[in-house]
């Protein structure tokens, strides 16, 4: 991948990366209920871990873009937060970001879970698609097909297509990779003719500081389960690429109460050490060089109401009003 500095995001389009012949490029929004598998699908398409993946809902906070090459086509995925009923400012900002990602995209993919079927949440999303999408193509991807029988899948596909005029329906398993190639090839063929937006070997337009923070937040979410569902955030405070080829990353974990700090630290610091080890291993693999990760836990009671926290997550603070 192209080396990304801590401060940069997307690089400017570069003329010398364009192939011979016509090229295609465009944005594809992945939408759906929380935990439908959007982040797993994005990571499978891109071939690298650029979006946080956990078994908890509502973990993707920012519109994370992953860049995928398919022949002469460049697919820029917008991995939106799961669409759900918002309650807090952060929830409202996340849902607004999700629909904003769909509105900005050339193509939209609605992802649903095969074993959950057409839920009330999915019905609400379909009604919103009817109001918002106009003539823009929307594909249906039925995920986790290995969890149900073939006749159940066919019935679900028919029910969904009766509810909305999907341009194409795909049966996939984002985790195992089934059907993902067919979806990627269709998306590439449907994109408009454009020069590529990013260098060919760039896989994400997020600053590396944010990707690193998301990796650590994923490990915290997995380790803590239900204890601190959405009441913590991670900020990459310092980033130093060293002369020996390694990288030092200092991060702050913000929690809302003193009691939360004890939970994150664990007995004798065991929990935060385990989280740091798991995050460091993922970051070492992702960056392709040794990583020295240092975590510090701080109490910030009102971080959910701090405008700068939303900017760091790629969200608009005012969207939560």
Amino acid 60: pLDDT: 40
Compare 56 and 260 and report the one with higher pLDDT.
260
Q: Which residue has the tokens 């078994």?
A: 55
Average the pLDDT over 300-321 and give the result: 57
Q: Is 61 left (phi over 0), alpha (psi -120 to 50) or beta?
A: alpha
Q: How many CA atoms lie within 13 A of 216 on its CB side?
A: 31
Q: Worst-scoring range by mean pLDDT, 10-24, 104-118, 170-184, 232-246?
A: 10-24
Amino acid 303: pLDDT: 58
Q: What percent of the chain has pLDDT over 90?
A: 26
DSSP for 163-193, written as a single string: HS--SEEEE-BTTTTBTHHHHHHHHHHHSPB
51: Cβ contacts below 8 Å, ≥ 6 apart: 38, 39, 42, 43, 60, 64, 66, 79, 214
Q: Worst-scoring range by mean pLDDT, 66-70, 150-154, 182-186?
A: 66-70
Burial string for 129-139 (b: 16+ CB within 10 Å, else e) reads beeebeeebbb
Q: Which residue has the tokens 């939970």?
A: 263
214: Cβ contacts below 8 Å, ≥ 6 apart: 51, 52, 62, 64, 234
Residue 29: which pLDDT band, with cuts at 50, 70 and 90? confident
Compare 133 and 100 and report the one with higher pLDDT.
133
Amino acid 206: pLDDT: 55
Amino acid 34: pLDDT: 74
Q: Worst-scoring range by mean pLDDT, 37-51, 54-68, 130-144?
A: 54-68
CA-to-CA distance for 75 and 46, rounded, in angstroms?
A: 9
3-state secondary structure at position 8: coil
Burial string for 30-49 (b: 16+ CB within 10 Å, else e) reads bbbbbbbbbbbbbbbbbebb
For the entire predicted model, the pTM comes to: 0.57
- All domains in the chain, ordered by first residue: 15-190 (3.40.50.300), 208-320 (3.30.300.20)
Tell me the range of 2-16, 32-46, 218-232 where mean pLDDT is highest: 32-46
Instruction: Give, as one character, the DSSP assignment of residue 302.
Output: T
**Each residue of 216-263: pLDDT tens digit?**
988 888 888 655 545 688 888 888 888 898 989 999 998 888 888 888
Task: Take residue 168 and report the two structure tokens written for it.
Answer: 């194409």
Residue 51 has pLDDT above 90, yes or no: no
- What is the overall mean pLDDT for the chain? 76
Task: Take residue 65 and report the two structure tokens written for it.
Answer: 């873009």
Tell me the range of 11-15, 51-55, 150-154, 215-219 where mean pLDDT is highest: 150-154
- Do residues 201 and 2 lie in contact, with contact meaning Cβ atoms separated by under 8 Å? yes
Compare 60 and 88 and report the one with higher pLDDT.
88
Average the pLDDT over 109-138 and give the result: 84
| Maximum Cα interatomic distance, the chain, rounded to a whole number of Å | 61
The residue among 112, 99, 89 whose CA lies nearest residue 29 is 99
Residue 36: which pLDDT band, with cuts at 50, 70 and 90? confident
Amino acid 1: pLDDT: 34
CA-to-CA distance for 177 and 193, rounded, in angstroms?
A: 27
DSSP for 44-58, written as a single string: HHHTS--S---SSSS
The residue among 103, 105, 106, 85 whose CA lies nearest residue 94 is 85
Amino acid 16: pLDDT: 47
Residue 11: which pLDDT band, with cuts at 50, 70 and 90? very low
């Amino acid at each position: 991948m192209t080396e990304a500095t801590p401060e940069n995001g997307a690089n400017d389009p570069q003329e010398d990366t364009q192939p011979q012949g016509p090229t295609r490029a465009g944005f594809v929004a992945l939408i759906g209920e929380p935990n439908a598998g959007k982040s797993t699908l994005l990571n499978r398409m891109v071939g690298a871990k650029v979006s946080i993946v956990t078994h908890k809902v509502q973990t993707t906070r920012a519109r994370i873009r992953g860049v995928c090459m398919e022949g002469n086509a460049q697919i820029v995925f917008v991995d939106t937060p799961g669409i759900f009923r918002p309650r807090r400012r952060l929830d409202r900002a996340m849902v607004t970001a999700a629909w904003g990602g769909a509105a900005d995209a050339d193509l939209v993919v609605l992802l649903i879970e095969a074993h959950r079927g057409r839920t009330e949440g999915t019905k609400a999303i379909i009604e919103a698609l009817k109001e918002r999408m106009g003539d823009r193509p929307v594909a249906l991807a039925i995920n986790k097909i290995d969890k149900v029988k073939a006749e159940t899948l066919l019935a679900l596909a028919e029910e969904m297509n009766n509810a909305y005029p999907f341009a194409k329906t795909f049966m996939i398993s984002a985790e195992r990779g089934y059907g993902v190639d067919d979806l990627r090839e269709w998306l590439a063929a449907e994109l408009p003719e454009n020069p590529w937006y990013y260098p060919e070997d760039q896989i994400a337009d997020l600053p590396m500081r944010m990707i690193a923070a998301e990796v650590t937040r994923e490990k915290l979410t997995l380790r803590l389960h239900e204890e601190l569902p959405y009441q913590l955030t991670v900020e990459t405070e310092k980033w130093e690429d060293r002369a020996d080829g390694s990288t030092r990353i200092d991060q702050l974990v913000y929690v809302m109460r003193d009691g939360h700090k004890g939970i994150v630290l664990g007995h004798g610091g065991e929990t935060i050490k385990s989280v740091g080890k798991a995050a460091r291993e993922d970051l070492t693999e992702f960056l392709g060089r040794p990583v020295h990760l240092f975590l510090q836990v701080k109490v910030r009671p009102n971080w959910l109401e701090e405008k700068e926290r939303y900017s760091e997550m790629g969200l608009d603070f005012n969207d939560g009003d």
